[in-house]
Amino acid sequence: MSRRSLRERIRPLLARILAARTAQSTEANDVAASDLVIVAPTPLRSDRGQPGEVSALVTVSPRSSHRVAAVVDALRQSAPPGTDIVVARYLSPGQTGNVSLADTGGALVIDGLHASYGSALNAALARASGEVVIVVDADFSLRPGSVERLVEAAQRGRVAQALAVSASGLVLSAGVGAEHRRILPFHLLQGHVEDDPGLPRDGVDVGGLGVPVFAASLAALGGVSADAGQQEALATLSRHARSSGLPIHLESDARVDSSLHAIDPPHPAAPDSRSWEPLIADTHEFFLHSGFRVDRVLPRAHTGEHREATVVLRRSAPVNSPHATPRRRWAVKTAAHPGAAGATWGDTFFARDLAAALRAGGEDVLIDNRETIVRPQSDYLDDVILTIRGLERVPINPTAVNVLWIISHPDAVTDDELADYDIVFAASELWAAEATRRSGVQVVPLLQATAPNRFHPGDRVEELRSDVLFVGSTRNVFRPVVRDALAAGADVAIYGDGWSDFVPHRVIRSGHLNNRDAPAAYRSARIVLNDHWDDMARHGFHSNRLFDAVAAGALVISDQVPGLDDIFGTSVRSYTTVNELAQMLAPGARGWPNENERIQNAERIASLHSFDARARTLIAAVAAFVGQPSVS
């Protein structure tokens, strides 16, 4: 059959499919204004909710209709048994179309498409039967444990809000606050990273609700205006709670994620700004507990008699801190992606271990991913920028002390980049000396490190036992150390993604090894394999895996890198040919240390090359640079 005749036969079929899809789309999206539902607020009797029971109300707009089943499933898994779940659909301002729900997870869907968030909320509240109500908009994903924390707080007589986090890892809202009667309310800590050291870990009262994910007793919730948008509805609910004497509490450990990168500014809490006074008082209390104070308020625009403004913060010692002055605030910059995409990156674990060590050394620390490296709403508060150099160059912060630590990809680092920084470290003595001579910038050797509290000798774990172990992805190539080990006839076990195109399926244990299992996996293997990027090996940069595996008591075979013997002793051997590798891998091969030597090597790595030791070096270098003692 010719191509032309095939196209002629297929064309009518494609036309029919397209017409059917167009008809479905028109049917789904062509909603007349007369078809929209408007539900006015209904007075809620204080005795209406069934004692001890919980109702979950899910609101959904067209942009989040595909997420309803996931939200309902999370509620079913986390809410108390017997929780009734109600779904109400609505249109946001400027939206058109319908809300098509392919799967609701068995929740009750209220008939009709509501003309506003307020109308949908009123309808859902009217269906609620529990003593406690948890409200979740489908724009937000519930993290494990969040539902339980919100419900428990509501049962203790609070109106509890979750901490909302954007797709990039920045806070969308930690509640609503106000600074002055003529300045419009604002979202607390918006634009800060979610592990900001100023975020009250035990939660704190706030002025008002900022996002539509909260829990409260049904008696605490009045109805809202039938045409209210989200922020106006939240302001009304906040005002009702405050007038009832109920605190609005940020449950900072109850966290929800959103694909949104921004949310609407808070609606004024009440037409009469004098009623904002309690909100202003709560905001000042929030900042006191957070270690901030309002330094300046910069007006942006007028809205009636009120002004929109940017609130500029300054740091202070939190009220519960033993320190008279705030501790230095460090921002550790990584190349990892935000969220699940970067959760398995080595840079992520490296930054977490380093941050823990810096905190133990008396510093405040937050971690930035590649999308939060520049934070216009909060990075002016940082004292020290510590860039863990990955593949890409990171902008410096002119208001902070800028520290560069090069742990990989040295060929990507230029001399002018080195000159941008106040302090430069490199995880190679060889490269540090070369770069200093070449650039004229003092580059100080600072090798990679391990966390001895996790990576230490111990018992082997049968489920993780292997003969020859490799942990890592393919990097889109058949990594030489794995290729050579298989060629040498080794019984290799691989944890990592992308390997199905290169090795037999029997060799792959899993696409990922949980970091908490890595120490046991290393010490449960007879031999651990390791390799480096070409420029790292050439310039003497030793992989973080070497420090972790040796600290766990493992024996390691690696590609050749200058200085291996000096640092790791007899626990690490390098090879050049497949035959040489086969001899090292043979059971009973000579040259390996005995058990006592392995433990001694592990203890030496733990003592000299821990993240605690690296943190002490970094803190001392910054203190010397600014000419002040470190705060501890």
Q: For 345-374, what is each residue's pLDDT tens digit?
A: 889 999 999 999 999 999 999 999 999 999
pLDDT at site 68: 92
pTM, to two decimals: 0.87
Digit-coded pLDDT (tens) for 241-293 = 888 889 999 999 999 999 888 888 888 755 555 566 777 888 888 888 888 98
Residue 349, CB-side half-sphere exposure with 13 Å CA sphere: 18
As beta bridge partners, residue 601 has none
Cα–Cα distance, 308 to 183 (Å, whole number): 6
Is 349 strand, coil or helix? helix
Mean model confidence pLDDT for the chain: 88
CA–CA dist 178, 146 (Å, integer): 26
Buried b (16+ CB within 10 A) or exposed e, 49-61: bbeebbbbbbbbb
Tokens for 66? 């595909």
pLDDT above 60 for 123: yes
pLDDT digits (tens, 9 = 90+) for 40-88: 877 655 556 678 899 999 999 988 888 999 999 999 999 999 899 999 9
For the ranges 90-99, 108-117, 206-215, 476-485, which has the lowest average pLDDT? 90-99
The SS3 of residue 362 is: coil
The fraction of the chain above a pLDDT of 70, given in percent, is 89
pLDDT at residue 619 in the model: 97
Q: Note the pLDDT of residue 8.
A: 46
The DSSP H or E segment spanning 509 is strand 508-510
Joined together, the tokens standing for residue 195 give: 């592990």
Per residue in 160-199, pLDDT (tens digit) is: 999 999 999 999 999 998 887 777 889 999 999 999 998 9
- Strand residues in 91-156 grouped as ranges (E): 108-114, 130-137, 140-142
> 164 forms bridges with which residues in the sheet?
173, 256
**Looking at residues 579-586, what average pLDDT do you find?**
97
Helix residue ranges per DSSP H, 187-258: 230-243
